[in-house]
Amino acid sequence: RFCFCFGNVNGAVPGEQVKKDENSRRGNWGNQIEFVLTSVGYAVGLGNVWRFPYLCYRNGGGAFMFPYFIMLVFCGIPLFFLELSFGQFTSLGCLGVWKVSPMFKGVGYGMMVVSTYIGIYYNVVICIAFYYFFMSMTNLLPWTYCNNPWNTPDCTGVIGTPRTNATFANVSAVVSGLTEIVNRTKRTSPSEEYWRNYVLNVSDGIGNFGEVRLPILGCLAVSWVVVFLCLIRGVKSSGKVVYFTATFPYVVLTILFIRGITLEGAVSGIKYYLTPQWEKILDAKVWGDAASQIFYSLGCAWGGLITMASYNKFHNNCFRDSIIISVTNCGTSVYAGFVIFSILGFMANHLGVDVSEVADHGPGLAFVAYPEALTLLPISPLWSLLFFFMLILLGLGTQFCLLETLVTAVVDEIGTDWIIKNKTYVTLGVAIVGFLLGVPLTTQAGIYWLLLMDNYAASFSLVVVSCIMCICIMYVYGHKNYFKDVEMMLGFPPPLFFRICWRYVSPFIITFILIFTVIQYKPITYNDYVYPRWSLVIGFAMALSSVICIPIYALFKIAVSEGSTFLERLKNSVKPDPDWGPALQEHRKGRYATAGPESVEVCPLKEKLKDEGKEKLKEKETEKKDEMGLTIPGSNGSTLNPTPSA
């Protein structure tokens, strides 16, 4: 039994085959590769493809890489390591970890609110990718020409249509004609009209919901069913799915990259993407964009990193994992830029315009600019299928973690054996609620609401949540206590660089991001549509709904804490909960041991044996007293007369 206790102390090692979970009640990853792939899938999302390349070319090309990687080193990786170690140490989700200082549990609720908002609209984006994927299963992509019922007279295709074959004799004439049109007025592409007039059938404003787009609603149902089935057994099932969902996007990216660089004009697109404009390094906006992109792309303060790490084994090297995942995430962003701009360079060359005329970001890149460029390629449906399949997988990888964050928070908070055994029903319930809340986003006004949620619900509120988390761990709980916790878990203290970043550098950068976000704020617009003031109020309300959880819960906790004065209640509300610390008794050493550090150093069994020994000694003493009493005259004394062997 002593050997058994020693054997279970160490966590998983890559390549080690472990059939039994260390935490049998809650479960663990099958192996560490599953955790790394899941975290990569979580961090590497749609923003890596449709936001980073655009930010890079807009902020000085290759010069943007310098502040980007500076922010990765001083903010991205330290925050990533902080959240992973936080969740792994306690084996609890984004609510349970705040036993470290119960007054700050509102931060966990704020994370849940943010993950709810993101999960709702993120799956709508995935469902649109599903729709485009299904529509690509044809001989001719439906957004190739301008001769469709949804097209307007302003539509101008990048290749000849049946109506223009008689007018233009050859491709060069088409190109020159289009160049003249582009120079004269802003063109409306068939892909843009397909996106606005057919797929979304966009209404005239955010208040006019119109009708539900049934094809999009059906794809939303498909998307939620896929997410639920992949999470039906929690990390046990999602850990297997990520072997495909987290790796295949790199296969598709490589295929598209090889195809892209072989096209005429690809080099000019890549040059536009990478050519450094060093004078922009002195622009504060460039540094702000770099810091914001690092912060948001890694998924900090969403609660997902804490949740995924909570299923690790206690002694897993999350320091190594944080570096691997963060670097992979940023490397993917850079790699995706080559894929995007090689194709856009080809399209700009075909139209005879500058790359800036065709470059876009967000949904405009994913569903308008890039699909239009794909129509110029031979066997265009094949490339379209690959591209949208890649978007689906990138989105699902993030969506898995968002849903698991909410489910784990609920299950950990209730904590009964019944809900742990029936976690599947919780997952189903959350998926159904997420689907119903996403239905309004499938209406004709859905795109307006989607962009509103993206710009407000998950913007500065994330920065506030992350900043308060750093303050709580480093200054309320105490940096020395946390450094000792990490050393107990990993076997070595956090490197000096990370200790400095956690205490000073990262909070400073987070504060800089917050100030930058406020200074650079501009009311949201969609193309030429200006959002009404009442919709902006709703946007700010969504942003504040996650932040307001923090002071509300703090006041509640202070009110119910013990103490006769406010200061006593405040002091008691920030003290760590008695249950704070490692989840398993075998890991509760040092100050977390219930009966002194030596009693837990070897195994909990040791203390049990000591107690049994004391009980046996007491029994023997009682027997001897009874024996002395029974030798009084009148007693036979035969029954309790001890034998020599006793």
Rounded CA gap, 627 and 638, in Å? 10
Measuring CA to CA, which residue among 119, 94, 121 is closest to residue 466?
A: 94
Report the alpha-carbon distance of residue 466 to residue 163 in Å, rounded. Answer: 56
How far is the C-alpha of 271 from the C-alpha of 257, rounded, in Å? 15
CA distance linking residue 330 with residue 293, whole number of Å: 10
Three-class DSSP category at 525: strand
Other CB atoms within 10 A of residue 644 CB: 4
Helix 380-414 to helix 423-438 angle (10° resolution) is 120
The residues, any chain, with a CB within 8 Å of residue 115's CB and separated by 6 or more, are: 94, 302, 303, 304, 402, 405, 406
Contact 123, 220 (CB under 8 A): yes
Question: Residue 635: phi, psi to the nearest 5?
Answer: -110, 140
DSSP 123: H
Q: How many CA atoms lie within 13 A of 424 on its CB side?
A: 8
Token pair 């209404």 is found at 203
Q: Pull the structure tokens for residue 537.
A: 């109020």
Q: Dihedral of CA 461/60/347/183: which sign? A: positive
Q: Is 297 annotated as a binding residue?
A: yes
* Number of other CB atoms surrounding residue 47 within 10 Å: 21
- Across 398-415, b (16+ Cβ under 10 Å) vs e yields bbbbbbbbbbbbbbbeee
Tell how far CA 341 is from the center of its chain: 26
DSSP character at residue 29: -
Instruction: Please tell me the distance from the alpha carbon of residue 452 to that of residue 171, in angstroms, as a whole number.
Output: 41
Q: How far apart are CA 371 and CA 128, in angstroms?
A: 13
Angle between helices 460-471 and 105-135 (to 10 degrees): 140
**What's the rounded Cα separation, in Å, for the pair 644 and 49?**
85
Q: CA 306, CA 138: separation in Å to the nearest integer? A: 43
Q: Would the annotation count 43 as a binding residue?
A: yes
Task: Show the tokens assigned to 287.
Answer: 């540094």
Q: Residue 446 CA to chain centroid, in angstroms?
A: 23
| Token pair in block for residue 113 | 């609110």
SS3 readout for 106-121:
HHHHHHHHHHHHHHHH
Q: Are 246 and 40 in contact (CB under 8 A)?
A: yes
525 forms beta bridges with 530
Distance CA 405, CA 390 (A): 23
- Which DSSP symbol is given to 352? T
Asked if residue 108 belongs to a known ligand binding site, the reply is no
Alpha helices in 442-575 (DSSP H): 446-452, 460-471, 479-490, 496-500, 506-519, 533-547, 549-560, 566-574
Tell me: is residue 48 an annotated ligand-binding position: yes
- Per the annotation, binding residues are 41, 43-44, 48, 297, 329, 394
- Per the annotation, binding residues for Na(+) are 41, 43-44, 48, 297, 329, 394
